[in-house]
Amino acid sequence: MAQIFHRSTNTLSKLSIFGAVFFLAGLGGIASLVIRSGFYTQIYVAREQPIPFSHKHHAGGLGIDCRYCHTSVETSSFAGIPPTKTCMSCHAQIWADSPTLEPVRASFRSDKSIEWNRVHKVADFVYFDHSIHITKGVGCATCHGRIDQMPLTRKQNTLLMEWCIGCHQHPEENLRPRSEIFNMAYEQPSASAPVVHRGESYTRQAALGAVLMEEYKVQSLTACATCHR
Amino acid sequence: MSDEHKPVPASEGENPFIGGEHTYATVTDKIAAIALARRTSKGWVLGFLFSFALMQLLLVAVGYLLYKGVGIWGINAPVYWGWAIINFVWWIGIGHAGTLISAILLLVRQEWRTSINRFAEAMTLFAVSCAGLYPLLHVGRQWFGYWLLPLPNTMRIWPQFRSPLIWDVFAVSTYATVSLLFWFVGLIPDLATLRDRAKVKFAKTMYGIFAMGWRGSAKHWYRYETAYLLLAGLATPLVVSVHTVVSFDFAVGIVPGWHTTIFPPYFVAGAIYSGFAMVLTLTIPIRAIYGLQDFITDRHLDAMAKVMLATGLVVAYGYMMEIFMAWYGGHPYDMYMVLNRMRGPYAPGYWALIACNIVIPQLLWSSRVRANAVFLWVLSLVINVGMWLERFIIVVTSLHRDFLPSSWGMYYPTKWDVMTFLGSIGLFLTLLFLFVRLLPVISIAEMRGMVSSPTDKEGGHH
């Protein structure tokens, strides 16, 4: 009887069984990389805006406090996008004729809001609240990065759930004194640069975090219903 | 080929579980011919088209479900588990007979299993496929179905390992994997036979690929036997464990009618009961159509009927214990649940279930009933219906009377429930028709072991 298959089929079939394992593992590996990549999460990607607003200039260079524009950050879930009036409180006088700022003036004249493009979009069904994070000692820069150094606003963190949970499991690693919340240049305590809180000097975040956990009554909340209601 | 084929008495034949005069060659010819026949019979085509059309109902129902959501089903407060879960338990239970026949009966050397194991294993596989569909469709957002698996993900969470629903995922997927492997490994020598006998190049190649280079050398046989025995050992605990875990879905919940310790054994017995009923439902027509009475003899039917009788009695004991414990425990909710089953709005279902599962099957005590294939076939259908009703009663009557009368309600299936169920029967039958046409329905290799060797036969042709 004639052979149906060539001799090489023996090797090929063994190889394909063996290879399938690596192929599938590779596929899984690639998927896990893609889903965390900037391509998918848009991390570090500056978004196009109607006006090239620079946080670096306003918050960094001029030193305007976050709350001057984001007024409701301490009391509400939403930090607040400033109305055009807030812009005009300065720009009626400064750079009043700049062509770049024409959309701002147009918005002021027509009473139509400037349509900014959202940079930080939380997944559906997540109830995020700015005020509680601020109150419990999480600084702006912890999540948003050095906004004061960004000419155009971009995401500094993935906003994937693993990132949220990472901090919710160990909040003490990211807490700072309430007085430092809006301090963009704040750095965690180290031997060379200790942080002073209530008269005590701390050189390790572990020690400071533990004290703040106690003082601000911070809990590690990881139940589903904390964010998904 | 007639239905009145008499079983060969043990004293006459060398093996009472094979009728007629058979040698290695005739066994191989007879079984391989079904798969290798060049012409497809009209009956097969008609049956296949019917099943395939039935399966389209599933396609439509699932398509609309994906578009619209589980709201198209009859489930709503307080009955959130409707036909989807009933059908899941029903299908997965049916599968159990296959595993019992192939694994446990192999280990305890019940030779008669040889004629039906291939077929029963295929039935298991197709039933598990149908069963697996339902929980996946029931999760609501089916595209997140993979969340049931403990995969690394960007959410840094695992499934809830303390939930019996997750145990279900493991139990059923393990079951499906082991059943597939067991079935496939058993098929290898037969696939090689078909490869060698096929006349068409395409068939030769396809059978050849799946035969994985089987040449039937002593080394091959040695490894094959070892692997088969190991798989049988692996599959054996699954007969008990899978339906035990399925019963945990109910028993772990604090719902009167679910929260009982008798559930695991009584579910396992029920599964085997319904599984053997399904094997009979399928084998009786098939052996008549393909004239396999020599291989699947009346003694086989008799043995299967006895298993049904035994498991049916265990199930009856389970029903009685539920009632007894409700009374003995003195718990008002439990007692109410039992009385509500007997006298409440679903009472006709309950009494129909008692009739189908307990009363009518008592006919199996009679050897005349067990010897009558047509009667057995009808009886097996009755038991299939009864076992479906059992799951309906367990799921629906326990839920529809909540602890608070303000949350009482009724459950009615919608046309989409019915379409999904009929569609899954279509899927099952379609797979079965393909199996019967393309693969040997009885294990050729093992049947050869059942007939006496060719040298013996040559001299002693009586």
Tokens of B170: 């493991």
- Rounded distance, CA A34 to CA B34, Å? 50
Say if A69 falls within a structural domain.
Answer: yes
Domain count, chain B: 1
> What residues of chain A lie within 8 A of the CB of B156, using their CB?
161-162, 165-166
Question: With an 8 Å Cβ cutoff, is B205 touching chain A?
Answer: yes
Is pTM beyond 0.90? Reply is no
Mutate to test the interface with A, among B146, B155, B201, B209 (most CBs of A within 10 A): B155
| Cross-chain Cβ contact B204/A4 below 8 Å | yes
Distance of CA A167 to the CA centre of its chain: 12
| Cross-chain Cβ contact A5/B208 below 8 Å | yes
**Does the pLDDT value for residue A166 go beyond 90?**
yes
Say if B4 falls within a structural domain.
Answer: no
Residue A224 CB burial class (10 angstroms; 0-12, 13-18, ≥19): exposed
Say if A27 falls within a structural domain.
Answer: no
Say if A17 falls within a structural domain.
Answer: no
Say if A185 falls within a structural domain.
Answer: yes
| Cross-chain Cβ contact B154/A165 below 8 Å | no
| Residue whose tokens read 């993979």 | B146
Q: Is A155 helix (H, G, I), strand (E, B) or coil?
A: strand
| Cross-chain Cβ contact B205/A165 below 8 Å | no
Tokens of B207: 């059978």
Say if B281 falls within a structural domain.
Answer: yes
Q: Is B76 helix (H, G, I), strand (E, B) or coil?
A: strand
ipTM, two decimals, is: 0.78
> What residues of chain B lie within 8 A of the CB of A165, using their CB?
155-157
pLDDT of residue B453: 52
Question: With an 8 Å Cβ cutoff, is B299 touching chain A?
Answer: no
CB–CB of B352/B393 below 8 Å?
no
Say if A1 falls within a structural domain.
Answer: no
| Cross-chain Cβ contact B196/A161 below 8 Å | no
| Cross-chain Cβ contact B195/A36 below 8 Å | no
pLDDT of residue B459: 43
CA distance readout (Å), A63 to A113, A149, A155, B196: 25, 11, 21, 85
| Cross-chain Cβ contact A165/B213 below 8 Å | no
> What residues of chain B lie within 8 A of the CB of A158, using their CB?
154
Say if B1 falls within a structural domain.
Answer: no
Long-range CB contacts for residues B169-172, cutoff 8 Å, separation at least 24: B169/B135, B170/B245, B171/B241, B171/B242, B171/B245, B171/B246, B172/B92, B172/B128, B172/B131, B172/B132, B172/B135, B172/B242
Boundaries of domain holding A196:
41-81+116-226
* Nearest-neighbour CA in chain A from B154: distance (Å): 5
Residue of B156, B157, B212 lying closest to A13 (CB–CB): B212
- Rounded distance, CA B118 to CA B279, Å? 11
- At B117, which CATH number? 1.20.1630.10
Phi, psi of B287 (to 5 degrees): -70, -30
Mutate to test the interface with A, among B144, B153, B154 (most CBs of A within 10 A): B154
Residue A196: which H helix or E strand, with range?
A: strand A195-197
> What residues of chain B lie within 8 A of the CB of A35, using their CB?
154
Q: Can you state the angle between helices B415-438 and B24-36, rounded to 10 degrees?
A: 130
Tokens of B251: 């028993």
Q: Is B34 helix (H, G, I), strand (E, B) or coil?
A: helix
**Which one, of B451, B430, B371, B376, lies nearest residue B30 by Cα?**
B451
* Nearest-neighbour CA in chain A from B204: distance (Å): 8
CB–CB of B165/B110 below 8 Å?
no
Residue A200: which H helix or E strand, with range?
A: strand A200-202
Residue B98: which H helix or E strand, with range?
A: helix B83-99
Boundaries of domain holding B232:
24-457
* Nearest-neighbour CA in chain A from B155: distance (Å): 4
Domain count, chain A: 1
* Nearest-neighbour CA in chain B from A160: distance (Å): 6
Say if A10 falls within a structural domain.
Answer: no
Mutate to test the interface with B, among A15, A162, A222 (most CBs of B within 10 A): A162
Question: Closest chain B residue to A223 measured between Cα atoms?
Answer: B157
CB–CB of B301/B119 below 8 Å?
no
Q: What string of pLDDT tens digits covers the 462 residues of chain B?
A: 444 444 444 434 445 677 777 788 888 888 888 888 878 889 999 999 999 999 999 999 999 999 999 999 999 989 999 999 999 999 999 988 888 888 888 888 888 888 888 989 999 999 999 999 999 999 989 999 888 999 888 888 899 999 998 999 999 999 999 999 999 999 999 999 999 999 889 999 999 999 988 999 999 999 999 999 999 998 889 889 999 999 999 999 999 999 999 999 999 999 999 999 999 999 999 989 888 888 888 888 999 999 999 999 999 999 999 999 999 999 899 999 999 999 999 999 999 999 999 999 999 999 999 999 999 999 999 999 999 999 999 999 999 998 889 999 999 999 999 999 999 999 999 999 999 999 999 998 888 887 765 444 444 444
| Cross-chain Cβ contact B213/A4 below 8 Å | no
Say if B47 falls within a structural domain.
Answer: yes
Residue of A1, A13, A165 lying closest to B156 (CB–CB): A165
- Rounded distance, CA A119 to CA B413, Å? 46
Say if B11 falls within a structural domain.
Answer: no
> What residues of chain B lie within 8 A of the CB of A13, using their CB?
212-213
Range name among A66-70, A129-133, B4-8, B270-274 with the lowest pLDDT average: B4-8
Residue of A1, A5, A160 lying closest to B154 (CB–CB): A160
Say if A201 falls within a structural domain.
Answer: yes
> What residues of chain A lie within 8 A of the CB of B213, using their CB?
5, 9-10, 13
| Cross-chain Cβ contact A4/B212 below 8 Å | no
> What residues of chain B lie within 8 A of the CB of A161, using their CB?
154-157
Question: With an 8 Å Cβ cutoff, is B196 touching chain A?
Answer: yes
| Cross-chain Cβ contact A4/B196 below 8 Å | no
**Does the pLDDT value for residue A135 go beyond 60?**
yes
